[in-house]
A and B are shown apart, each in its own frame.
Chain A
């Protein structure tokens, strides 16, 4: 595959997303917005999993922290400071994440960390659903979309599809930031920890501090994207922090491929298609969704990104750089775990 072809796919995807409101049904547009936020959410989770080797089952807790912070502040009329609100939500998420990480990462790892984070997120969800001023189980509805001032002109994000385009831009910024972290020095350090924590410690890396850093960043990004999500969906409920929501980034990542930076995004997109496709399959949606997942597991056991790379790789062999196509594949060849 040529360089041009490698660029063509992401460019087409971006163009497709940005132009969506111009030609697609508004239900599809709404779903695309939700999918963008869940894709970035999944990327933030994969910073922890794919790069650091830590699995959190409570990531939805951070997402819901961000969403609630944003929902409360927008309902209180801080819309003109929305960009600050998103940053603030990210900071709150990062702070909580840091606190949790301080305690949790010292004591547990692997499946224990997963269940510990799950239990904490459940406690948060139960607390939210009993908090009257946050709307209990029914959550906070009618979240207004903000108006952003830019010097002399202001952009009303509530009008038309403005918030959608804002969401595109904001998710793009967050994705770029995550890409930069993952491919920068910190990302390389994290990968070395994932591969062999003891060796990493031996060569002078503070393993605990780096893991804590990744955990904090992951929580912060999760909360920031939660803050972007709230005015898009215009309702937040405690279920945002539920176990089912925590499993979403996990599914997206694994279906898409954890070893590729873009894997979680591909997974999120695939899920959106499945979800939209099964909305009319009364009584059959569980079986159909389950069967599709199973088929992916059986026939593409390295995720869709892996399957795509294999397909692309087969076509361009021999590959002079050792690269197997698809832009952001990371950590090869050491990250490769299967025999593909």
Chain B
């Protein structure tokens, strides 16, 4: 039972990372290797602002927002300087660009923040636990679940209700046709890319109290985020949401049911999924 709650919480943490990743894939058709690095930069910026012991939940969320904004700006710069200039080149080449950006980000983080571990504690109100029956649930786990659902709902609203979002969806589906129909594709692409980066930064800020900051932070979530994006169907936010929860649960039950081999089930699950539902959970539908 605890594994269930924890799986949900871990899944939401994965979704926070995967959301931006899948958005980026939708419009740019690339798996952004640098996403983990931007997640890390968001976390470092937020940690610098809130210090090692944030005073309240609002401080933490505020720090995450500033982290997200900073990374969003950085994203704007990367889009202008790098992505836009090579968008007509073969898409595989974009992979190297994101890989190069990742290396530069990791190097820059080392220079700016150094190598020492940085730890931020949960603020008061999130540092304890609540008991539901005989179940012991850390408040921070509930916070992460809430944050994940909130981000998901905002994205849903944005994509399916707002005009701008619908435009991004149509670009995702068929960029050429969208252009032909007179949609302002470059602006929408820029917007989606900046949103994707900002989401990475926000995720970094929100998950601050969960783990420890070091220049290797990006890696821990990147692979899980990739997996969620793939299983969910590329560019599909709803799919990524469901897939992230599934992955969180799989890993969590792996730890409980097969403690001798932690982390194996995620890969086995991945392989199974890819073979059984290669087009993602919501095959044939894009959102």
Question: Are any A and B Cβ atoms less than 8 Å apart in their complex?
Answer: yes
Q: Which of A115, A287, A293 has the most CB of B within 10 A?
A: A115
- Residues 290-340 of A at the B interface (beta carbon under 8 Å): 290-291, 293-294, 296-298, 301-302, 337-338
Q: Is A289 positioned at the interface, with any CB of B under 8 Å from its CB?
A: yes
Chain B min CB distance to A55 (Å): 7
> Would you list the 9 A-B pairs with minimal beta carbon distance, nearest first?
A290-B103, A287-B107, A286-B107, A293-B100, A290-B104, A294-B100, A108-B278, A301-B89, A116-B274
Known A108-B274, A120-B271, A123-B267; 5 more pairs at CB < 8 Å: A55-B92, A254-B95, A283-B110, A287-B104, A288-B107
Q: Which residues of B contact A55 (CB under 8 A)?
A: 92
Chain A min CB distance to B81 (Å): 8
Q: Is B102 positioned at the interface, with any CB of A under 8 Å from its CB?
A: yes
- Interface size class on chain A is 35 or more
Q: Is B268 positioned at the interface, with any CB of A under 8 Å from its CB?
A: yes
A298 and B85 form a contact (CB under 8 A): yes
Checking A122, A123, A255, A288 against B96 with a beta-carbon cut-off of 8 angstroms, the contacting residue is: A255
- Residues 243-265 of A at the B interface (beta carbon under 8 Å): 243, 247, 250-251, 254-255, 258
Which of B's residues lie within 8 Å of A, judged by CB? 31, 82, 85-86, 88-90, 92-93, 95-97, 99-108, 110-111, 223, 226-227, 230, 234, 263-264, 267-268, 270-271, 274-275, 278-279
Could you list 16 examples of A-B contacts with CB < 8 Å?
A: A107-B278, A108-B275, A119-B271, A122-B267, A250-B95, A251-B96, A283-B110, A286-B107, A286-B110, A289-B103, A290-B104, A291-B100, A297-B96, A301-B86, A301-B93, A338-B88
B274 and A107 form a contact (CB under 8 A): yes
Main secondary structure of the interface of A (DSSP, over half): helix
Q: Which residues of B contact A291 (CB under 8 A)?
A: 100, 104
Smallest CB gap from A294: residue in B: B100
Q: Is A126 positioned at the interface, with any CB of B under 8 Å from its CB?
A: yes
Q: Which residues of A contact B226 (CB under 8 A)?
A: 115
B92 and A258 form a contact (CB under 8 A): yes
Q: Which residues of A contact B85 (CB under 8 A)?
A: 298
Q: Which residues of B contact A285 (CB under 8 A)?
A: 107
Known: A115-B230, A337-B90. A290 touches B274 (CB 8 A): no
Q: Is A112 positioned at the interface, with any CB of B under 8 Å from its CB?
A: yes
CA distance A338 to B31 in the complex (A): 22
CA distance A296 to B82 in the complex (A): 11
Chain B min CB distance to A147 (Å): 41
A290 and B97 form a contact (CB under 8 A): no
Q: Is A201 positioned at the interface, with any CB of B under 8 Å from its CB?
A: no
CA distance A297 to B270 in the complex (A): 31
Q: Is A99 positioned at the interface, with any CB of B under 8 Å from its CB?
A: no
Known: A291-B104, A298-B82. A247 touches B274 (CB 8 A): no
A111 and B234 form a contact (CB under 8 A): yes
Q: Is A284 positioned at the interface, with any CB of B under 8 Å from its CB?
A: yes
Checking B92, B103, B230, B275 against A293 with a beta-carbon cut-off of 8 angstroms, the contacting residue is: B103
B89 and A116 form a contact (CB under 8 A): no
Q: Is A13 positioned at the interface, with any CB of B under 8 Å from its CB?
A: no
Q: Which residues of A contact B275 (CB under 8 A)?
A: 103-104, 107-108, 116
Q: Which residues of A contact B108 (CB under 8 A)?
A: 287
Q: Which residues of B contact A115 (CB under 8 A)?
A: 226-227, 230, 270, 274
Known: A108-B275, A111-B31, A287-B108. A254 touches B267 (CB 8 A): no
B267 and A119 form a contact (CB under 8 A): yes
Q: Which residues of A contact B107 (CB under 8 A)?
A: 283-288, 290
B89 and A338 form a contact (CB under 8 A): yes
Chain A min CB distance to B100 (Å): 4
A254 and B92 form a contact (CB under 8 A): yes
B99 and A251 form a contact (CB under 8 A): yes
Chain B min CB distance to A115 (Å): 5
Q: Which residues of A contact B82 (CB under 8 A)?
A: 294, 297-298
CA distance A111 to B279 in the complex (A): 10
- Residues 120-137 of A at the B interface (beta carbon under 8 Å): 120, 122-123, 126
A112 and B106 form a contact (CB under 8 A): no
A126 and B274 form a contact (CB under 8 A): no
Known: A111-B31, A122-B267, A290-B107. A297 touches B86 (CB 8 A): yes
Checking B96, B234, B270, B274 against A254 with a beta-carbon cut-off of 8 angstroms, the contacting residue is: B96
Q: Which of A120, A122, A243 has the most CB of B within 10 A?
A: A122
Q: Which residues of B contact A337 (CB under 8 A)?
A: 90
B99 and A247 form a contact (CB under 8 A): yes
Chain B min CB distance to A48 (Å): 13
CA distance A255 to B96 in the complex (A): 8
Checking A104, A294, A338 against B104 with a beta-carbon cut-off of 8 angstroms, the contacting residue is: A294
Q: Which residues of B contact A49 (CB under 8 A)?
A: 92
Q: Which residues of A contact B110 (CB under 8 A)?
A: 283, 286
Q: Which of B106, B226, B227, B267 has the most CB of A within 10 A?
A: B267
Smallest CB gap from A290: residue in B: B103
Q: Which residues of A contact B111 (CB under 8 A)?
A: 283, 287
A286 and B270 form a contact (CB under 8 A): no
Checking B31, B97, B227 against A297 with a beta-carbon cut-off of 8 angstroms, the contacting residue is: B97
Q: Which residues of A contact B278 (CB under 8 A)?
A: 107-108, 112
